[in-house]
Every structure is written in C-alpha cells, then in structure tokens.
Structure 1
C-alpha cells in the first residue's frame, strides 16, 4: 500500500503508467532512504536500539523495514548465532538473538555485512523482526504492526453518493451518506452508518485485525441469500487519528460483495482479500 505494495509504482502490479520504457527497471526494486524520525525498539523492558539516524528499506512486495546504524544498537544485548539466510537481491544475512533479562528472542536481528554490489549500502546497519520485539516507538508514539510508510496516505471524505451493497443477491446496506476512505494503493472503502445497514443479517465474529494507520478492527459475517459470508464487514470502534471520521461505521469488502455507486455496478477489485 505504498511504493512497493498494492498498486504502488514499484509493486510489480502498478496501477498507473510511466512516461518511459519500464523494462529499464529491475523487476525487484530496492529503495533505501533516510528517515527523519527518532525510532526505538524495546524488548523485555530494555531499549535495544534508539536512533535519530534511521534508514528505511522499501522492497517490491514487502512492507518497509527500519534499519538502525550499528552504533545505535546496544551490542551487549545481542548474541551472534550460526543462522544465515541469502537474499538474491541483498546478499547473505548474519543474525543475532536478543537477550534481555530472563527472555531471549532467537534470531531476531540481522544485517548484511557484505551486501551484493548492486544492493543498497546496507553494511553497518541492523534490522529487527517487528513481531519478535515487544514495542516500537516513532518519536514518543508507539507504533504497531509495521513502520508507518511515508508514502502511505489516508483521506476520509464525506459523500452524498448513493451506495447499495448486496450479498448473495440480497440487499444488505443502502445509504446516501457514506464516508469514503481513500488509502494509497487500495480500493476506495465505503463506510456506512450502522442505521443504514440491515444489522439483523450481521453475525459477530471473533476475528480482528490491526492497521498502524486506522486501529484495531472488529468483524461480522453476513447471513444473506441462504449463505454465510464470513468476516465480510468490519468497523473500527476506536479509530486512530488518521481514521477518526470512520469510527463506529461499517464497511464491506468491495472484493466480495455486489456494490452499486450512483446506480453503476462496480467491478470487484483484485486484492489480497479477494475470494
């Protein structure tokens, strides 16, 4: 959902066109850039790394990854391991486990001491597996799921479009007051007031997901047309700053419903959430 994901320009599935022959581009793109943010990573109550000189690596098909200068990582908390991996685009990676107090995160940090010649200048930097650490901070705000991408944007706009949503041939929602969430490299999402949804067709689900930009989502399945469509609807009961205008509203996966906007049936987009 940025430069290298979704329909981003270097994702491999770009939603736009360039004004040059794209065959000059490598099919797998790496972009290594400075980040102006102070970033900290914490494990078992210890700050493992703290830097104001961060780098961010963007790579085709992958989420961005923070890289810390070696000097900004607490070397006494790292234990070298025999584990190695090879990336055909970056080179051979060496690994460390992170030990803090009575806990250890195995092979949680890595670096490329001798990156490939045509790779970015990764030598001298260390990265950490996001989920193996306890907490990440950009400045003094905790960040979850993955780094916030500087090329990712969310706009929530009030709209008077006439939106109708059907599931298995049965009308489930209809509104003329949606809020439309436009998010980088993703289909527009139509958030609908609960009063405009046939909530008797919704079945609460135990599923949840988390987005670093929007928050933690709750889900519902839909029973319509004699069938059950699992986890088709979601809402953010406590939306984060970028998405506060859609807090408490209901949204359906465009990929899995029949969506009409102003009387025109919309094509189902192809994304990771498609059936």
Structure 2
C-alpha cells in the first residue's frame, strides 16, 4: 500500500477520511520529486539514469516514475504511431525502447498535451516496469515498482493469545506471535513454527511475490485452500517473520484473545509476479545489487 494504493488516503477504497467540509473529487493524482537516483537497464545498456524523476501517485495503481528527456540515453526511444487517452492527463504517445539487440514495443510513454495543473510531468517519459530488465536506486536493484515513501512495515512482538482451529482441531496456539503492520492493511499475525501443528499444513502449489517481503509459500488446511502462508526466507527488512506462519481468517478460524478475526473489506491483494530477470537468489534473499 502507498498513498493511492489499497486503502491509502488517495485510494478509491480509503479506510480514512479527510476532515474537511466538502467531499474531495473522486480521483486525485499526486506528483512529487522522487529525490533518489534511479536507473533502468535493458540488456547490457543503461537506458535511463536520473536524479530528477517525478513520482506519480494515481488512484488504484502502484506509483510510477517519470523521467526528464535529458536523463534518457540517446536513441533508445522510438516513437510509435500508437496513442491512447489518459482519463486525467490527456493524449499519451507510446515508444519502442531499443538498446543494442534488445527491443521492447510499447515500453515507454509520454503525455503530450497535459492540462495546466499537471505541468510537473511536461516532457517526462515513463518506462513500463515489466518491459525493462532491471531498475536500480544507486547500485541496488529495486523490484515491483518505484519506491513508495508512503509504504511502511513495522513488526512487533506480543503476548496476546492466538488460536487457529480447523473445526475442533487446534492447528496453532501461541502466546508469542508477531504482528505485522503494513500501510493500509489490517494487522497480520505470524506464529512461530514451534506453536504450529505442521502435520495440519499441506503445501499448496504456487508462490506469490511481494516487493517488500519476498516469496510467499502457501498451505492448505483440511478443505481450506491456501489458508496459511509463510515467507520461508523473508527479506532483510522483515527478517523477523522468516519461517513463521500466518493464517487467512476468511479461510480458517483465527481467534485473538477470544475474539474471532475476519478479513477486513478492501484487504485483498493483487498477485504480483516477480520482475524480469529476477533470479531465485534475489527473490529469496532480497539481494538487489
């Protein structure tokens, strides 16, 4: 979650409210200087290297970085005849990105007739995230989308009593879970393996990728599909939850201090695949360099 994604303040399903007398417009776009050096690579070529990116927060989308033309390598952009219409920012022209033998069609775009209030993006070009082979801040690879300063994760230890049941069977019981607070989401509770009856967990096919936590593996519990998950080797920033198990309260019964938990509205996560050329070591360990 960030400023305009999931339940952030500018998202369509925001959980909070602005304390103002009149309602805000249905859609608010917010742009700001990124203030970080950001680079993009296609094949062996750095196609962009910028300390002057502008980050656009658009309702319901991950943030997108736009770059001034002077920070884009010469001759890598070839304008195509393809144009679209952005509902807020007007006509949009698309480019093929070419670097040596590598070519990606419709891999970059530019808004060509911006309204006056959006001139901060004038002339700037955005690159389709999945079209490039890697994005970097300084020398470290970043994945998923441009860094969102409004996304935060905090992990706290607690002595609250958490019990997970599949019918009459106790699947997990702990007085030392960890609670993970992630911007825009309800708390998620992670249970130490020692407090889980692992014979109740059946590994499920498929993994998902989180740009902040790493690769998640899933488990079925009885007839409840993908009712639990674990970041077996969580990234450094959330290392405390590595190997612990969290349970989906809409799929399996989860009680916290005797109160049954439920999935809050708007908490569903859109599955996020790993970036192009993100090898298993990078995805599993958060080594982005």
With the length of structure 1 as denominator, give the TM-score of the two structures.
0.92
- Please show how residues 208-227 of structure 1 align to structure 2 within 5 Å: 208-223=207-222, 227=223
Could you tell me how far 1:189 is from its partner in structure 2? 0.7
Distance across 2 between alignment mates of 1:234 and 1:201:
13
Aligned to 2:44: 45
Could you tell me how far 1:232 is from its partner in structure 2? 2.3
Q: Does 1:272 align with 2:242?
A: no
Q: Does 1:247 align with 2:246?
A: no
Could you tell me how far 1:22 is from its partner in structure 2? 4.6
Aligned to 2:6: 6
Distance across 2 between alignment mates of 1:258 and 1:99:
52
Distance across 2 between alignment mates of 1:78 and 1:6:
33
The superposition leaves residues 109-162 of structure 1 with CA deviations (integer Å, 9 ceiling, x where unpaired) of: 001121134445321111011111110111221111112210011001111110
The superposition leaves residues 70-107 of structure 1 with CA deviations (integer Å, 9 ceiling, x where unpaired) of: 11011311111111111111111111111122221110
The superposition leaves residues 209-251 of structure 1 with CA deviations (integer Å, 9 ceiling, x where unpaired) of: 222211121222222xxx2x22222212221222111111111
Give the superposed CA RMSD.
Answer: 1.8
Distance across 2 between alignment mates of 1:122 and 1:72:
14
Aligned to 2:278: none
Distance across 2 between alignment mates of 1:185 and 1:57:
18
With the length of structure 2 as denominator, give the TM-score of the two structures.
0.88
The alpha-carbon distance between structure 1 residues 199 and 73, as it changes in their structure 2 partners (threshold 3 A), is same
Distance across 1 between alignment mates of 2:168 and 2:22:
42
The superposition leaves residues 156-180 of structure 1 with CA deviations (integer Å, 9 ceiling, x where unpaired) of: 1111110112345643221111011
Give the secondary-structure state (helix, strand or coil) at the position aligned to 1:213: coil
The alpha-carbon distance between structure 1 residues 22 and 151, as it changes in their structure 2 partners (threshold 3 A), is farther
Aligned to 2:149: 150
Aligned to 1:189: 188
Give the secondary-structure state (helix, strand or coil) at the position aligned to 1:186: coil
Please list every run of 5 or more consecutive structure 2 residues that lacks an aligned counterpart in the other structure: 271-289
Q: Is the 8 A contact 1:255 1:269 kept in 2?
A: no
The superposition leaves residues 22-63 of structure 1 with CA deviations (integer Å, 9 ceiling, x where unpaired) of: 51x221110000011100011111111010111100011111
Aligned to 2:273: none
Q: How many residues align?
A: 269
The alpha-carbon distance between structure 1 residues 260 and 120, as it changes in their structure 2 partners (threshold 3 A), is farther
Q: Is the 8 A contact 1:113 1:122 kept in 2?
A: no
Distance across 2 between alignment mates of 1:128 and 1:29:
22
